[in-house]
Amino acid sequence: MRSRATVNAITLENKAFPFDMLRLLGITTAKETRRRNRMTVTVGINGFGRIGRCTLAHIAEAARNDVQVVKINATGPLETSAHLLRYDSVHGRFPGEVKVANGTMDLGRGPMEMFSTYDPSELDWSGCDVVLECTGQFNDGKKAGVHLERGAKSVLISAPAKNVQKTVVYGVNHRDLIPGDTMISNGSCTTNCLAPLAKVLDEAIGIERGIMTTIHSYTGDQPTLDRRHNDLYRARAAAMAMIPTSTGAAKALGEVLPNLKGKLDGTAMRVPTPNVSAVDLTFEAGKDVTVEDVNEIVREAAAGHMGAVLGYDPEPKVSIDFNHTPQSSIFAPDQTKVVGGRTVRVLAWYDNEWGFSVRMADVAAAMGRLLH
């Protein structure tokens, strides 16, 4: 489906409008859209932990030609970064060669310049259309702005962030990006799971109010043994207990889907698994529905316009079966419940590492195309 701006531009394309004027008006001609889609967006990665490595691995594994990583800042020895990319305890062995030479890393797509500093003011991001801020230390546009000062044309933060121009969930609101959007948040992995599902259901049957629980695998900020943490729940050993904690995913949904602002809240339960999580959403629908109605709505969306980010899997699977899944949200129809026609419960799985990392690459590509 063409966007409104593209459709409008088709009628304008053969008229005597200067290209610069169309660009200022936010209108993209079909010819310009085709040109942008052929472009390769150059990417830098700041922070080579779980999300940084998974994003690079995805781009290489998928042989994507729309994005190309050219620079990486990874604190620690270069050989350590290469080793952790080659051998991943969650996602398995990298299916290609990882070569290191003269301060660069090469996955067969050309050498990437490697830095190793905790101080972003020492970095050189010249030549990077988009820098992926993946350290978790600069989740504020004012702090992440240092990357723009160091030569990046735009920044995508891999977490919910303050002082950004937009929070973008690919497949839901990424078409709202416009030229000049240079400081963007990719939201959270949980918001990326919840948003496609909520969008489809709200448009079809309405979401009046609801509560979401994310049943979430432990993450790197949780300890293997008890230690100090600002969140006393997360101070406990990650693999030894189910740990209740907080999430801002439901509230953040209002930034992505304004129609749902203030209608949802949520909580989180960290569980002793290393990867793959689930969103359990209970809501009051705007009209009477059946289980079959709800499942068919999601099935049609997953088979159609939302298929890149929303999956539909009727098989009786468990969390590990969704490891390394690229979609943001995989709906489990056998888990749908409806009480009294309007109280609806649904469940969707998501690979909180890999799926989110794929979306980082997708949004970076969308941002980079707007720069040219």
> Is 330 one of the annotated binding-site residues?
no
CATH number for 102: 3.40.50.720
> Are 199 and 341 contained in the same domain?
yes
> Are 209 and 183 contained in the same domain?
no
Element (H, E) at 285: strand 277-285
Side chain identity at 309, as an amino acid letter? V
> Is 2 one of the annotated binding-site residues?
no
40, 41, 46, 50: CA torsion to nearest 10: -60
Other C-beta atoms within 10 Å of 305: how many? 12
> Is 136 one of the annotated binding-site residues?
no
> Is 134 one of the annotated binding-site residues?
no
> Is 190 one of the annotated binding-site residues?
yes
> Are 52 and 142 contained in the same domain?
yes
Contact in structure between 138 and 113 (CB atoms under 8 Å): no
Residue 38's Cβ-count burial label (10 Å; 0-12, 13-18, 19+) is: exposed
Q: What is the mean pLDDT of the chain?
A: 92
SS3 of 214-258: EEEECCCCCCCCCCCCCCCHHHCCHHHCCEEECCCHHHHHHHHCH
> Are 284 and 361 contained in the same domain?
no
The pLDDT value given to residue 34: 53
Higher-confidence residue of 24 and 224: namely: 224
> Are 183 and 200 contained in the same domain?
no
> Are 244 and 163 contained in the same domain?
no
Indicate if the pLDDT at residue 61 is higher than 50.
yes
Q: What is the pLDDT of residues 2-56, one digit of tens each?
A: 333 333 333 333 334 344 444 444 455 555 555 555 689 999 999 999 999 999 9
Higher-confidence residue of 187 and 15: namely: 187
Side chain identity at 306, as an amino acid letter? M
Provide mean pLDDT across the span 357-365: 98
104-106 sheet: strands from edge to edge: 99-101, 104-106, 111-115, 67-73, 41-46, 130-133, 155-157, 183-185, 166-167
> Are 240 and 100 contained in the same domain?
no
> Are 90 and 233 contained in the same domain?
no
Tokens of residue 313, six digits: 């899997």
The residues carrying an active-site annotation are: 189
> Are 104 and 65 contained in the same domain?
yes
> Are 127 and 50 contained in the same domain?
yes
34-38, 113-117, 187-191, 335-339 — which is least confidently predicted?
34-38
Indicate if the pLDDT at residue 353 is higher than 50.
yes
Provide mean pLDDT across the span 320-348: 99
Q: What is the pLDDT of residues 232-264, one digit of tens each?
A: 999 999 999 999 999 989 888 999 999 999 999
pLDDT band at 285 (very low <50, low <70, confident <90, very high): very high
The pLDDT value given to residue 250: 87
| Cα 59 to Cα 65: distance, rounded to the nearest angstrom | 8
Residues whose CB falls within 8 Å of the CB of residue 163, separated by 6 or more in sequence, listed in order: 140, 141, 142, 183
Tokens of residue 105, six digits: 């890393």
Which residue range(s) make up the domain with 40? Answer: 4-187+357-369
Provide mean pLDDT across the span 284-303: 99
Long-range pairs of 79-85 with CB within 8 A, sequence gap ≥ 24:
81/48, 81/105, 81/114, 84/48, 84/53, 85/53, 85/56, 85/57
Total domains, the chain: 2
3-state secondary structure of 169: coil
> Are 321 and 223 contained in the same domain?
yes
Find, among 307, 364, 316, the residue nearest to 158 by Cα.
364
> Are 268 and 322 contained in the same domain?
yes
> Is 50 one of the annotated binding-site residues?
yes
Find, among 340, 343, 333, 345, the residue nearest to 285 by Cα.
343
Query: pTM for the complete prediction?
Result: 0.89
Q: What is the pLDDT of residues 98-140, one digit of tens each?
A: 999 999 999 999 999 999 999 999 999 999 999 999 999 999 9
CATH number for 261: 3.30.360.10
> Is 81 one of the annotated binding-site residues?
no
Tokens of residue 1, six digits: 């489906």
